[in-house]
Amino acid sequence: MTRGRIVFVDDEPDLCAAAADWLGASGFEVESFSDPRAALGGVDGAACDCVVSDMRMPGLSGLDLLREIRQREPELPVILLTGHGDVPLAVEAIQAGAYHFLEKPYDADQLVSILDNAVERRRLKREIRRLQVGSEDLDTRLIGISPAMAAVRRSVQRLADIDVDVLITGETGTGKEVVARALHDFGHRRAGPFVAINCAAIPETIFESEIFGHERGAFTGAQAPRQGRIAYASGGTVFLDEIESMPLALQAKVLRIIQERVVEPIGSNRQIPVDVRFVAATKVDLKAESEAGRFRSDLYFRLSTIDLPLPPLRDRPEDVPLLYAVFARRAAERYGLGFKELPPELGLYLSQQRWPGNVRELKSYAERAVIGLDSPALQQAAPGNLPELVAAYEARIIATTLADTGGATAEAAKRLGVPRRTLNEKIAKYGLRPGPEPGETLPG
């Protein structure tokens, strides 16, 4: 996959050719124009990810080019380059909708980093739009543009139609039940029941009756026969969530059902055949639990034939802005409230958080933000006057630099040419949160 499709515009052909060469060597597809009028005709919003343009050009300035592009493709990011940069010009460019503003001579690595961010944001917007109007498929169910989530989708696609039992592993809130339902809904068992059993939520005293069923008179209070959940799921899928919480005494019986696909209700000698697929989920290291004697090792080995691990949200930060936007838009529609497009600074802010509760925590945060209960400093009203525009530009530059340095404030301060203390004050002022410095721990 290409790093991004770029249109580069400069009235000096030699600069165009040089930029096309080194951007191409960096993994971008580049189409260059020395005539800004011709560039307008060459900008295809469906194929282009970003436009980089010189500011001072005869006939049509970079600012004019930006305005023309914004009319045709309002979501296409445009980066402006100038050898005459000053605050008023920067403010005018930002006010006109420029994604970024670089003064010549610019640092090539910095431009590549800014392009990466712009392309990611462009693709993020496309993905949000596709999720809004697209048909139900794995991409709309298991949301994420990260390689980690792409791997999860590939695994689900391969396993959905294979009647093999699966163990889903992952931290709390990573979406284990969502993946289990996807395995069911996109496989040949989709017409059958999906029965979710939370092993931690059923009291041990009634666990066996709930799972296996019982005959009339099997115990005090059993006034009528009851079909167990596993038998009810015949033809479909049984999802055993938090299986590490299943009472140890019952694990042998569950193992037998998994191996033989028969259920024997309490108080009965009848063996009822069941046609089910078992999908189990755990948030703990089940192998370690079995080695410690807290979980049957034979059941663990039977379940772990196919182990499908889910990544925590902190390992796929590029998915955070997309997930937030999807959750916030859904919440806004559900509550009948307005939805504001996610600004780049807020996307960076969110992706730098640790999210110990993973996707579930992010979803809750998005819903609270839509209602107005959570509002980071950078999610406040869009700036309009000159001081606010300058502050927004400064916040964006700091946010981009922090992203480039992986949150290292010392390196960011060096690149920005300001004392580290000054940078930290501005980070606090704008509500930005850098990643941990080496040796530091970032709280959840």
pLDDT digits (tens, 9 = 90+) for 133-187: 555 688 888 998 888 999 999 999 999 999 999 999 999 999 999 999 999 999 9
Mean pLDDT of the chain: 84
pLDDT-derived band at 381, boundaries 50, 70, 90: very low
Which pLDDT value is given to residue 391? 67
CA 66, CA 69: separation in Å to the nearest integer? 5
Q: Is the pLDDT of residue 382 over 50?
A: no
CATH 3.40.50.300 corresponds to the domain 5-132: no
Give the pLDDT of residue 52: 95
pLDDT over 60 at 46, yes or no = yes
Higher pLDDT, 270 or 7: 7
CATH architecture of the domain 147-309 equals: 3-Layer(aba) Sandwich (3.40)
Query: What pLDDT shows up at residue 239?
Result: 97
Residues 157, 138 contacting (CB under 8 angstroms): yes
Q: What is residue 384's predicted lDDT score, i.e. its pLDDT?
A: 47
Q: Is 90 exceeded by the pLDDT of residue 87?
A: no
Triad 99, 103, 105: Cα angle to 5°: 130
List Cα–Cα distances, 424 to 243, 377, 404, 433, 441, in angstroms: 46, 15, 16, 9, 17
- pTM of the entire structure? 0.66
- What percent of the chain lies above the pLDDT cut of 70? 88
pLDDT of 436 reads 38
pLDDT in tens, 239-293: 999 999 998 888 999 999 999 999 988 888 888 999 999 999 999 999 999 999 9
- Establish whether domains 5-132 and 147-309 are of one fold: yes
Sequence ranges of the domains in the chain: 5-132, 147-309, 315-430
